[in-house]
Every structure is written in structure tokens, then in C-alpha cells.
Amino acid sequence: MNTPKSFHRQLLAAVLAMATLGMATPASAEYNPKQLRIGFQKSASILSLIRSQGTLEKLLAPKGIEVKWVEFPAGPQLLEGLNVGAIDIGNVGEAPPIFAQAAGANFIYVGTEIPSPQAEAILVPKNSAIKTVADLKGKKVVLNKGSNVHYLLVKALEKAGLKYSDITPVFLPPADARAAFEKGSIDAWVIWEPFLSAAEKQANARILADGTGIVSNYNFFLAEREFAEKRADVIKLIFEESQKHALIIKKDVKAAAAIIAPLQGLDPAIVEQALTRYELQTVAIDDKILDNQQKVADTFFELKLIPKAIKVRDAALKR
């Protein structure tokens, strides 16, 4: 496992080498040296805590850099924002980068949190007759297309002896998916934290299966290429702050939840439970992680969920 210092050394060296990749930036992306635009989701607990404390703003103000926070409903939308130049760096699950790379998005993997398989799950109503994943055959399952839970669903079905074609996927963003779940118009919902804990505590949901023993559920930091090439110092600073705030969360989860909950619009008890399901330790990208991402990509291509085969390492740091 990488220590914070060794990770920062690896990250800085790798990011400085990215100019050798030679890929063009989309015409709509305009690098602004005086602004840092961070894409985040409601589930991004570390980033939410950093945002609430204003630490990046304080650290970057002497450099003349303004910090702008941009919220997205899910990873696929965040990746779209990254590709068109609306943000410089963002945090998403393991599946969105696969769909984005297959669609020609221009980004680079710059780091990841260690796996948190318990932070995503397949949910059913508490009184549902569905008791195992195998019982999902012929059922309607709602999920956010292209998100990390898309891979969880595929692999969970496979482990249960089912094919992806054995279920009827319904693609909706989290808010709409929860509404469909509560109305009973679908049979199961595949979702991540903190929506997962919120559904358990507020929507009469029961976990059918989480990612344990099925998927890794990495949470990646991705950056726009030109920004990564030119601002290795800023990326290093983001990761240093991520490490510090992860320790703050782990030291006192309840206190951290009380700070993060208002930003996420959730009850502190929900956020507290969600935080316990994330590992929250940031590490460098290595071959094992890239190999895992390649398996995700190959799986989606075999199922024709992406239009072409991709090589994950084309979006990886050159060593």
C-alpha cells in the first residue's frame, strides 16, 4: 500500500511526464491558469468536506487561483463536463471512465481511492419476494446507465448464473430511480452511497447484495489532459488535502457526518452510515488497478454496452 508521501512523489513524477502522451484536447476545452474547477457528486464525501472547510481556496489564493466547485448528479455527466472543458478534475466510480473513453473523451487517470465494495448495492423493498440475485430473472432493475453500479449489476448476475439479458434494465438518475423504487414500478434498484443508506433508512429498502466478493468499486480521480500537464502542483495539493480530510473523517465519523450532511441535503445518521462503507484512502494508479479497469472495459464491450473495444492504458499515466 502506498504511503501518502510515496503516493505524492509518484503522482507528481507521473503527471509531469504526461506531455509525452500527445493527445489533442477538445476544441471547447480552454485551460485557465487562474481557475481550478472541481467536478464532484453528492457521494463525494472527502471533496464535500474539503469544500465545506474552504482549505483549497485558502491554499490557492496566494497563487492567484480561484476554486470553482461544480456538482453533477452522477459520474457519466461529470465525465461529459470534463470532456467539454467545463471542469479540470473530478471524482467518479470505475464504470463512467470506460463509457467516456469509448466515446472518445479526453481525460487521464491521476489517482484512486482503495476499493469500497460495500458502498454500492442492489436494493429491493423489505417485503419483496426477491431473496437472492437469481430471483431477479425477468425483473425490472433500475440504475444510472454507465455508473459504477452498472458493472456491479452485470457481475452480480453473472455470479448468480444469470445473463444481463435475463433482466430488464431501466435507466434513471438517482432521484428518479428512488421515485420509481418507492412507487413499486420497478423490482430492484442498484445504487451507491449515500443514496444507498438513504433508501435503507427512508424508503423501506433491503440490501439484496453489495459489491463484496463481486466487484472492487474503485473511486477514480480524473483530470483534463492539458490541466494535468500544466498543473501537477495543484493536483498534488488536491491529493494532500484528500489525505488530510480522509483522516479527519476516520477519526470522528459522527462529527464529519454532521458537517457533510447539510451539503448533501441528508440526515447526519444517513451520512454517517454511508461514510463507514467507504475506505477513503487515496493511492496511486498501478498495474493491478489498470488490469481491473481493463476487465470492466472488456465486460462492457462483450455485452455491447460500449461501441468499441478500448485500452484503458491509453488513458493512464506514462511511467
Residue 64, number of CB atoms within 10 A of its CB: 9
* Residue 203 contacts residue 287 (beta carbons within 8 Å): no
Phi, psi of 105, deg, nearest 5: -65, 150
Identify the segments of the chain with pLDDT beneath 50.
1-29
- Quick one: pLDDT at residue 318? 66
Distance (Å, whole) CA 283 – CA 280: 10
Which spans in the chain are helix H?
4-16, 45-53, 55-60, 75-83, 96-102, 148-159, 174-183, 195-202, 225-230, 232-251, 253-264, 268-276, 287-302
Nearest CA to 7 among 225, 286, 222, 313?
286
Q: Do domains 4-115+218-315 and 117-210 have the same CATH topology?
A: yes
Superfamily of domain 4-115+218-315: Periplasmic binding protein-like II (3.40.190.10)
* Residue 49 contacts residue 258 (beta carbons within 8 Å): no
Cell of 154: 452485470
Q: How many CA atoms lie within 13 A of 58 on its CB side?
A: 7
* Residue 188 contacts residue 124 (beta carbons within 8 Å): yes
- The ranges assigned to domains in the chain are 4-115+218-315, 117-210
Could you give the 3-state DSSP secondary structure of residue 5?
helix
SS3 helix, strand, coil % of the chain, rounded to 5? 50, 20, 35
Q: What is the pLDDT of residues 41-91, one digit of tens each?
A: 877 678 888 888 899 999 999 999 999 999 998 888 899 999 888 999 999
Pairing of strands 108-113, 219-223: antiparallel
* Residue 207 contacts residue 122 (beta carbons within 8 Å): yes
- Quick one: pLDDT at residue 28? 42
DSSP state, residue 115:
P
Count, residues in the chain: 319
* Residue 220 contacts residue 312 (beta carbons within 8 Å): no
Q: Which CATH class is domain 117-210?
A: alpha beta
* Residue 216 contacts residue 237 (beta carbons within 8 Å): no
* Residue 297 contacts residue 103 (beta carbons within 8 Å): no
Q: How many CA atoms lie within 13 A of 82 on its CB side?
A: 34
Cis peptide before 169 (omega within 30 of 0): no
Distance (Å, whole) CA 6 – CA 251: 22
Cell 509525452, residue located: 20
What is the maximum span of the chain, computed from C-alpha positions, in angstroms?
Answer: 59
Distance (Å, whole) CA 269 – CA 223: 32
- pTM: predicted TM-score of the whole model, two decimal places: 0.82
